[in-house]
Amino acid sequence: MKRFRYAIIALLSLTLLGLELVWTRIFSAEFFYSFAFLVLSLAILGLGLGALALRLFPSLGRRSYLGPLLTLTGCLTLAGPPLVFCLGLKFSTLLDSWSMVGHLLAAILLLGSAYFCGGLALAVLLRRNHRDMPRLYMADLLGAGTGVVLAIVLMNRVGTPAASCLIAIPVLLAALLAARGVARVLPLALLVAPFVLMRYADKLLAAPRPEQAPIVYKHWDATAKIKVYEYGEQNRGINIDNAANSPVFGFDGNWNRPETDRFQFSIDVSNLIKRFPACTFLSLGAGGGGDVLQALQAGATDIRAVEVIPHINEMMLTGALADFSGHIYRDPRVRVITDDARAYVRQHRHEFDVIYSLSSNSFAALASGSFALAENYLFTTEAFVDYWEALTDGGFMMMEHQFFIPRVVPELLDALQSRRVPEPRAHFAVYDLPQLHRQMVLLSKQPLTDEIRNTAFGELTPDNYADIHLLYPAPEGLADNLDNRIVQEGWQRVRGSAPVNIAPCTDNRPFVGQMGRWANFRWEKPARLSGFDVFGYPFSQLILIVILLVVIVLVLPLNLLPYLAGGPRLRATPWLYFFTIGAAFMSVEVVLIQKYTLFVGPSAYSIAAILFTLLVGSGIGSRFAARVSTRAAFGGLVAWLLLETFVLRYATHALVGLPPGGRVLAAVLLVLPLGFFMGMPFPKGALRVGALVDWGFAVNGAASVLGATAILLVAMTFGIQAALLVATGLYVLAGLLIARANGWTPQVLPAPPEAGDGCAAGDTLASG
């Protein structure tokens, strides 16, 4: 087994990291994204708890146990998600029933069990081979990085449910390498199971729900779960992640039709388009092409359809919806762009006559972003500066949303004031759409006239008041509406009485979906239980606090239990060191995902690129950890973090004009050096504590979950830049701790040898 130890570690880590990505995609699409974050964060605690079990029960480290442990990890990887769906979780009733709370705990235990067994197996390998830690940790990180790529490839090639089955194959191969004799039969037989289960994965990994209409097409890749509904002969709809809907109009391609047969749209911008003799029209989040169809019908001559989900564009261009939609995406006036809307807008100045945003941010986007807990750069103050700069001198922007407009209004004011626009209040209007339960903002490059306000979306009359009317400037009798008060009084004076958080978001604090207020917190059940904060209840922050409490109250005390046992003990300095670097590593990882989402775009591929680069860079750094002095390692790490905090944002801003692939490559080059230095602290500490590395790994695992959670609270409260500084401070503290040479000598007490492997618990410690 010794000759295969690197391969075993790499294969195990490949499965564990790939598992996290695939499960995140599945549970975010099938459940509320915030609850998916809760379940998976607590499940991943199993990784450190498995290592702790080895420290508390050394007999688990027998060589003969490793193969069965890896086999069990593979079994639990396959069984966990289907069993969770069998529990019938209904988060909307979570506060009504202790039974449902029990089901939630069962889900966490089911998913966490795979990480527990995997963490135990990994700790056994690290402990047995602790003198070779730089290479072992490199194998761990490179395997994890490969898991990122494999998860994306599998989700795109065979679908996300099937990928959750196939991702178990690497750990089963590791079990084959580790097992002896007849023990190899079971992992060999289990290699067939992923291929059998993947045939039923679509049914096994779907929460029961009533469908809106017959489903005529399904697709589920790394970016989105897509269903196409058939509402009738001439109407279909794209459903994304069970959360968002985009209509698709049946069209025969014939524009020579009478006025009475023209398409009708819920929000009609034809009057705005027709103000320009040759209108350049930009759709942010084109979805099923309704925006494009409206622009074509109104006579726009240059139409850009920007959509971040590649498969939707593929369906509209050549796939399942191309014929149905009349091949409008092949019209010579239309250009189809697969990119993040904000990233695309930032590349253009003074180019668009009309920018159209019809719910361009959906809760599907938030769901797929559960890795970073729902940041959004489409609705920040800087975003509206970009939109303003992208408009022609007489251009207009229409932005509609179900929930975010009270937050958009102060952002608009801040954006226009930052551009020193005279009388910024004259450049926008706010509308209510009661029948659609939505609000809408009209932004104009020139001061709005009453004529434009009253005719932009069709004439405002008492007869259509129930369909559309102004909120700002407020007509008689509506002066007390929230949007009008924000404009007239300022959001700071209004925020105390607002039902939701209306503080403007910036690129430094892009958490637009976090509209919960602690003033709305009640111990009793809220009026409406939802996975989103848009109704004012602080669900996301509450979930983060629950995770922190679980780690602080339950998991961290468990990591102190080895002090009550005999044998060698970590002293306070190394214990705190492993805790600090665990919290720091995950803090940097989470912040970088947040930060580079603005540059690259909020897709699964951008997140994967950052994660892959960080892990591979760290793996390379680990390999050279013993050759680089501690001072140089931590000095380089802190220096690059400060560079990332204060300097590299200017580089990304200068490179924003690159195509998506170019931006990904630039992000990789900027993140790789940081990853190189981040890979050094753990093996450096592990070389000093020797066989006690299992305990250090356990502390590190608990701190990783705590750090990833706490740093989100810091980012939400103080901003991403402050969060990065906190992570930098943690690495400074770790550098000071490892510099205390006297604090690293372990206290050695008599301890029995580990049965059956000839390796005492107090194996000679490497000096590092």
DSSP code string of 705-738:
HHHHHHHHHHHHHH-HHHHHHHHHHHHHHHHHHH
Which one of 191, 208, 225 terminates a domain?
208
639 and 722 assigned to the same domain = yes
Instruction: Extract the tokens encoding 207.
Output: 């929460």
What residues contact residue 484 under an 8 Å CB cut-off, 6+ apart?
430, 471, 472, 473, 474, 478
78 and 159 assigned to the same domain = yes
643 and 738 assigned to the same domain = yes
What is the rounded distance in angstroms from the CA atom of residue 567 to the CA atom of residue 635? 35
CATH number at residue 638: 1.20.1250.20
170 and 54 assigned to the same domain = yes
Instruction: Extract the tokens encoding 375.
Output: 């940041």
Question: By the 8 A CB rule, do 599 and 652 touch?
Answer: yes
Three-state secondary structure readout of 130-160 = HHHHHHHHHHHHHHHHHHHHHHHHHHHHHCH
Using DSSP, state whether 337 is helix, strand or coil. Answer: strand
**Beta strand 225-232 pairing with 215-220:** antiparallel
How many Cβ atoms from other residues are within 10 Å of residue 41's Cβ?
A: 23
Examine residue 751 and state whether it is found in any structural domain, yes or no: no
Rounded percentage of the chain residues whose pLDDT exceeds 70: 92
Burial of 228 (0-12, 13-18, 19+ CB in 10 A): buried
Sign of torsion, CA 624 629 630 632? negative
Query: Which of 325, 205, 311 is CA-nearest to residue 253?
Result: 325
Task: Answer yes or no: is pLDDT of 260 > 80.
Answer: no
192 and 275 assigned to the same domain = no
192 and 283 assigned to the same domain = no
What is the rounded distance in angstroms from the CA atom of residue 476 to the CA atom of residue 295? 34
- Rounded to the nearest integer, the mean pLDDT of the chain is 90
Query: Which of 54, 129, 138, 130 is CA-nearest to residue 689?
Result: 130
pTM: 0.92
197 and 276 assigned to the same domain = no
Examine residue 423 and state whether it is found in any structural domain, yes or no: yes
Question: By the 8 A CB rule, do 553 and 717 touch?
Answer: no
Task: Answer yes or no: is pLDDT of 110 > 60.
Answer: yes
- Average pLDDT on 673-686 reads 97
Examine residue 437 and state whether it is found in any structural domain, yes or no: yes
- How would residue 369 be classed by pLDDT, with cut points 50, 70 and 90? very low
Using DSSP, state whether 349 is helix, strand or coil. Answer: coil
- What's the gap between Cα 206 and its chain centre? 20
**Beta strand 280-284 pairing with 352-358:** parallel
Which of 112-126, 371-385, 682-696 has the weakest average pLDDT? 371-385
Examine residue 683 and state whether it is found in any structural domain, yes or no: yes
443 and 367 assigned to the same domain = yes
Task: Summarize pLDDT for 439-453 with one digit per residue, the tens.
Answer: 999 999 999 999 999
Q: Which domain holds residue 72?
A: 1-208
- Average pLDDT on 569-577 reads 95
Task: Summarize pLDDT for 345-360 with one digit per residue, the tens.
Answer: 999 999 999 999 987 7
What residues contact residue 373 under an 8 Å CB cut-off, 6+ apart?
33, 34, 37, 511, 540, 544, 712
Task: Summarize pLDDT for 177-225 with one digit per residue, the tens.
Answer: 999 888 899 999 999 999 999 999 999 999 888 999 999 999 999 988 9
The DSSP-derived string for 644-671 is HHHTHHHHHHHTTTS-HHHHHHHHHHHH
Most distant pair of Cα atoms in the chain: their distance? 94
Q: Phi/psi of residue 303, each to 5°?
A: -120, 125
What residues contact residue 250 under an 8 Å CB cut-off, 6+ apart?
233, 234, 235, 236, 324, 325, 326
- How would residue 454 be classed by pLDDT, with cut points 50, 70 and 90? very high
- How would residue 366 be classed by pLDDT, with cut points 50, 70 and 90? very low
- How would residue 239 be classed by pLDDT, with cut points 50, 70 and 90? very high
Helix (H) or strand (E) holding 61: none
Examine residue 335 and state whether it is found in any structural domain, yes or no: yes
Query: Which of 487, 463, 464 is CA-nearest to residue 474?
Result: 487
- Average pLDDT on 674-685 reads 98
CATH number at residue 36: 1.20.1250
* Residue 600: per-residue pLDDT: 85
Which one of 449, 466, 494 terminates a domain?
494
Examine residue 39 and state whether it is found in any structural domain, yes or no: yes
169 and 271 assigned to the same domain = no
Between 223 and 98, the higher pLDDT residue: 223
Examine residue 432 and state whether it is found in any structural domain, yes or no: yes
Question: By the 8 A CB rule, do 155 and 163 touch?
Answer: yes
Burial 184-220 (b: 16+ CB within 10 A, else e): bebbeebeebbeebbeebeebbbeeeeeeeeeeeebb
Q: Sheet harboring 280-284: ordered strands across?
A: 334-338, 302-307, 280-284, 352-358, 391-401, 438-444, 428-433, 469-472
204 and 307 assigned to the same domain = no
* Residue 227: per-residue pLDDT: 96
What is the rounded distance in angstroms from the CA atom of residue 249 to the CA atom of residue 234? 6
CATH number at residue 377: 3.40.50.150
Which one of 459, 494, 529 terminates a domain?
494
Task: Summarize pLDDT for 491-541 with one digit per residue, the tens.
Answer: 999 999 999 999 999 999 998 888 889 888 876 655 555 556 788 888 888
370 and 468 assigned to the same domain = yes
Task: Answer yes or no: is pLDDT of 362 > 80.
Answer: no
Between 646 and 42, the higher pLDDT residue: 646
* Residue 373: per-residue pLDDT: 46
Question: By the 8 A CB rule, do 91 and 35 touch?
Answer: yes
275 and 154 assigned to the same domain = no
* Residue 88: per-residue pLDDT: 87
Tally the domains of the chain: 3
What is the rounded distance in angstroms from the CA atom of residue 519 to the CA atom of residue 127? 49
Query: Which of 557, 518, 604, 571 is CA-nearest to residue 706?
Result: 557
Examine residue 528 and state whether it is found in any structural domain, yes or no: no
CA distances from 1 to 174, 580, 760 (A): 10, 33, 19
- Average pLDDT on 287-303 reads 96
